[in-house]
């Protein structure tokens, strides 16, 4: 604990003693509860409201800020085993006059988890389309953003439903077929061959495995206290069986290369953002996409790994805003010609 924080506790003393002791006890004993409170507080601070919408008996949970206007709405799709709140670090730097929607992907957080659900990339695309229809978000074409698994879904969505989307941002998306495997993919294939898929690196079950996953996904080496690592694991463990089922589905032959198979069908202006030091999905994927998508801009970030949204939120937000401005202005100019 920093000396300044300790001094603050000492000065506060008296009437603050009990609340402070309660906070410290919560941090040590129930770190997972504190993590949930942290996200609640951050959503509240940024003006993000949580809502639910239903397609028949299927529940979607999402957060939003703003209302549809003359600028395109923005729909944000998170990555594997994450949730809608992963976007908060980027939302912090986005203009408040934009209509933002962050949805929990199928089976994640507040969105329905069903043993009957189709968790393939195609299945997830169809579910997200149901969500879009429920909100009538496609009443006017919107900007779609996805990262990692969410980028995989976003890219295929743009190919399947071109009239829904006016532009697209893919942040280190999955779903591409590389000529050579990086170390992470090689390790996964070794696990598959040895039938040891319960040890998937992206599904940690101990604080040590959580630390290893953070190091795998981030170029920046975060110094995370043991209690927070434990809290992050505690939050995830009840969902690990689902994550394992989902992971095996999205790396199956049916889903693994869905984006690759559909990237030439993406016709909207597209932005690719990728960390140059990505150890999970090789940055060379950006060049593959640029060669297949006609109107495509590529932004490669130095000293950045797979967790672009966590590592470079301000830069990511600026790139998205600048891209939207260029696409929007170009569209307006064409209308005036």
- Catalytic (active-site) positions: 148, 278, 306
Tokens of 78: 């998170």
Residue whose C-alpha is closest to residue 243's, from 258, 233, 254: 233
Q: Which burial class, exposed, middle or buried, applies to 133 when counting CB atoms under 10 A from its CB (0-12, 13-18, 19+)?
A: middle
Quote the CA–CA distance of 322 and 17 in Å, as a whole number.
48
* 268: DSSP letter: S
DSSP 175-226: ----SS--HHHHHHHHHHHTT-GGG-TTS--SHHHHHHHHHHH-SS-----H
- State the distance between the two ends of the chain, measured CA to CA, in whole angstroms: 61
Quote the CA–CA distance of 16 and 12 in Å, as a whole number.
6
- How far are the Cα atoms of 6, 147, 264 from residue 3, in angstroms, in the given order? 5, 38, 56
Whether 139 and 266 have beta carbons less than 8 Å apart is answered as no
**What Rg, from alpha-carbon coordinates, does the chain have?**
21
* 77: DSSP letter: E
Residue whose C-alpha is closest to residue 158's, from 89, 150, 57: 150
CB atoms closer than 10 angstroms to residue 70? 8
Taking every pair of C-alpha atoms in the chain, what is the biggest distance, in angstroms?
A: 70
Tokens of 218: 């981030």
């Amino acid at each position: 604990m920093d000396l300044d924080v300790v001094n603050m506790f000492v000065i506060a003393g008296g009437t603050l003693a009990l609340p402070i002791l309660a906070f410290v006890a919560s941090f040590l004993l129930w770190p997972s509860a504190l993590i949930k409170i942290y996200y609640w507080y951050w959503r509240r601070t940024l003006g993000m409201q949580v809502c639910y919408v239903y397609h028949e008996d299927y529940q979607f949970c999402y957060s939003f800020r703003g209302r549809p206007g003359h600028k395109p709405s923005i729909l944000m799709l998170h990555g594997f085993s994450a949730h809608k709140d992963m976007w908060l670090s980027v939302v912090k730097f986005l203009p408040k006059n934009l209509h933002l929607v962050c949805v929990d992907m199928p089976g994640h957080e507040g969105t329905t988890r069903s043993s009957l659900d189709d968790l393939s990339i195609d299945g997830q695309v169809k579910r997200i389309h149901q969500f879009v229809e429920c909100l009538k978000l496609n009443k006017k074409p919107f900007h779609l953003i996805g990262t990692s698994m969410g980028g995989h879904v976003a890219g295929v969505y743009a190919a399947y439903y071109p009239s829904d989307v006016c532009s697209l941002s893919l942040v280190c998306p999955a779903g591409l077929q590389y000529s050579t495997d990086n170390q992470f993919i090689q390790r996964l294939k070794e696990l598959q061959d040895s039938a040891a898929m319960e040890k998937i690196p992206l599904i940690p079950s101990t604080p040590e495995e959580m630390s290893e996953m953070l190091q795998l996904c981030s170029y920046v080496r975060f110094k995370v206290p043991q209690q927070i690592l434990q809290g992050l694991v505690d939050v995830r463990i009840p969902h690990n069986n689902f994550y394992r089922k989902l992971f095996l589905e999205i790396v199956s032959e049916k889903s693994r290369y869905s984006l690759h198979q559909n990237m030439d069908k993406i016709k909207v202006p597209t932005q690719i953002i990728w960390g140059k030091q990505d150890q999970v999905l090789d940055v060379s994927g950006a060049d593959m996409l640029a060669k297949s998508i006609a109107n495509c801009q590529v932004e490669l970030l130095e000293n950045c790994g797979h967790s672009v949204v966590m590592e470079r939120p301000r830069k990511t937000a600026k790139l998205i805003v600048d891209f939207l401005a260029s696409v929007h202005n170009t569209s307006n100019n064409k209308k005036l010609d």
